[in-house]
């Protein structure tokens, strides 16, 4: 029996399973969506399920025709996901609770429809992890050294450009104003969003796995470099226009412009990597 036939024949049972899953995660998912709305670092969360759905849609013919062969060990993964949810709930650890949804979905796919379908659904399911906000302890562990790195690079570049500047931690001191390299300028926000976009973009292109991996990894230096450029540009303008260059409209516009530049660089790199034999590694 194919997956399409199985879903049609057991549609009531599958609907019941989905209703139970929705009831179990009723309080988890809405709170995660609220964080997407309130926290700019994770606003990309709104598009992640859509992209994951598109990945599944692209495979719809293969998914419908593959044989449904329920794999009983998948039930252990379902139990592991539900236990992860309980542990996260007891410890009020949101990342554990939210990521357990992906684990549970993987287990249900294996248990109900089998390993062949799971292989086809692995990318869409794994991509859903991008919608789960990181624990702030991990976020801070990444953001802090990035801030210091971007500050050092910016200071060195500004000095080469003849700008009189000094550094204290992540503080850039200019003759007429002082700038702070905050989390938004560290590149962590762009990095998270750009990685999610890079994975999607890499799998839309016709290229080998090695090139896909290279394109995805390139999102890291691209995001960091683009934000360093933002800080350098702000420092140069602040030298002549003071603190106004780092506040209000310019600050918001610079953040958007930097992200657009980062996307353009990623698209350009993807175009280069996809040239020639698209399937070659």
Residues 161 and 109 in one domain: no
Residue 173's DSSP bridge partners are: 166, 178
Q: Where does a domain end: 111, 131, 151? A: 131
pLDDT at res. 143: 80
User: Does residue 278 carry a pLDDT above 70?
Assistant: no
User: Does residue 242 carry a pLDDT above 90?
Assistant: no
Flag whether 281 is in a domain.
no
Residues 93 and 116 in one domain: yes
Residues 58 and 173 in one domain: no
pLDDT at res. 25: 95
pLDDT at res. 232: 83
Residues 144 and 267 in one domain: yes
Average pLDDT, the chain: 85
The percentage of the chain sitting over the pLDDT mark of 90, rounded to a whole number, equals: 39
d(CA 141, CA 235): 25
Please tell me the least confidently modeled range out of 38-42, 162-166, 238-242.
238-242
Flag whether 264 is in a domain.
yes
pLDDT at res. 249: 56
Give the number of domains in the chain. Answer: 2
Residues 168 and 231 in one domain: yes
Residues 196 and 148 in one domain: yes
Flag whether 280 is in a domain.
no
Average of pLDDT values for 52-73? 90
CA 233 vs CA 6, 156, 255, 265: distances in Å: 58, 13, 11, 18
Flag whether 278 is in a domain.
no
Q: Where does a domain end: 73, 103, 131? A: 131
Residues 107 and 222 in one domain: no
- Global pTM? 0.83
Residue (of 146, 117, 163, 165) closest to 225 by Cα position: 146
Residues 168 and 263 in one domain: yes
Q: Where does a domain end: 81, 103, 131? A: 131
d(CA 23, CA 18): 9
d(CA 137, CA 195): 20
User: Is 274 or 248 the better-scoring residue by pLDDT?
Assistant: 274
User: Does residue 81 carry a pLDDT above 90?
Assistant: yes
User: Does residue 187 carry a pLDDT above 70?
Assistant: no
d(CA 227, CA 254): 9
Determine the structural domain holding residue 173 and report its residue range: 136-273
Average of pLDDT values for 45-60? 92
Residues 121 and 178 in one domain: no
User: Does residue 175 carry a pLDDT above 90?
Assistant: no
Render pLDDT for 90-102 as a digit per residue (tens, 0 to 9).
988 999 999 999 9
pLDDT confidence of 280, banded at 50, 70, 90? very low
Residues 103 and 165 in one domain: no
Q: Are 164 and 200 in contact (CB under 8 A)?
A: no
Residues 62 and 155 in one domain: no
pLDDT at res. 279: 44
Query: Helix 188-204 vs helix 136-160: angle between axes, to the nearest 10 degrees?
Result: 100
Flag whether 253 is in a domain.
yes
Residues 87 and 186 in one domain: no
Phi, psi of 162, deg, nearest 5: 85, 15
User: Does residue 281 carry a pLDDT above 50?
Assistant: no
User: Does residue 114 carry a pLDDT above 50?
Assistant: yes
User: Is 45 or 176 the better-scoring residue by pLDDT?
Assistant: 45
Flag whether 173 is in a domain.
yes
């Amino acid at each position: 029996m194919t997956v399409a036939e199985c879903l049609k024949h057991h549609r009531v049972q599958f609907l019941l399973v989905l209703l139970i899953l929705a009831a179990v995660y009723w309080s988890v998912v809405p709170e995660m969506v609220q964080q997407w709305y309130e926290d700019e670092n994770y606003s990309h969360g709104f598009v992640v399920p859509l992209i994951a759905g598109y990945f599944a849609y692209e495979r719809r013919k293969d998914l419908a025709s593959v044989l449904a062969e329920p794999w009983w060990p998948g039930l252990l993964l379902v139990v592991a996901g539900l236990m992860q949810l309980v542990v996260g709930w007891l410890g009020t650890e949101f990342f554990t609770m939210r990521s357990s949804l992906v684990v549970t979905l993987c287990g249900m796919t294996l248990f109900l429809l089998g390993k062949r379908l799971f292989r086809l659904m692995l990318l869409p399911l794994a991509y859903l992890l991008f919608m789960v906000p990181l624990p702030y302890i991990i976020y801070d562990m990444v953001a802090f050294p990035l801030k210091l790195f971007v500050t050092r690079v910016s200071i060195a570049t500004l000095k080469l450009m003849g700008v009189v500047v000094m550094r204290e931690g992540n503080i850039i001191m200019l003759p007429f104003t002082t700038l702070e390299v905050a989390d938004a300028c560290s590149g962590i926000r762009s990095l998270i969003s750009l990685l999610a976009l890079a994975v999607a973009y890499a799998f839309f292109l016709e290229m080998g796995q090695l090139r896909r991996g290279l394109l995805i990894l390139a999102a890291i230096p691209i995001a960091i470099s683009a934000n360093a450029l933002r800080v350098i540009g702000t420092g140069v303008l602040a030298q002549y226009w003071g603190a106004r260059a780092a506040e209000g409209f310019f600050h918001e516009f610079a953040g958007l412009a930097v992200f657009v530049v980062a996307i353009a660089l990623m698209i350009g790199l993807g175009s280069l990597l996809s040239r020639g034999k698209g399937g070659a590694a």
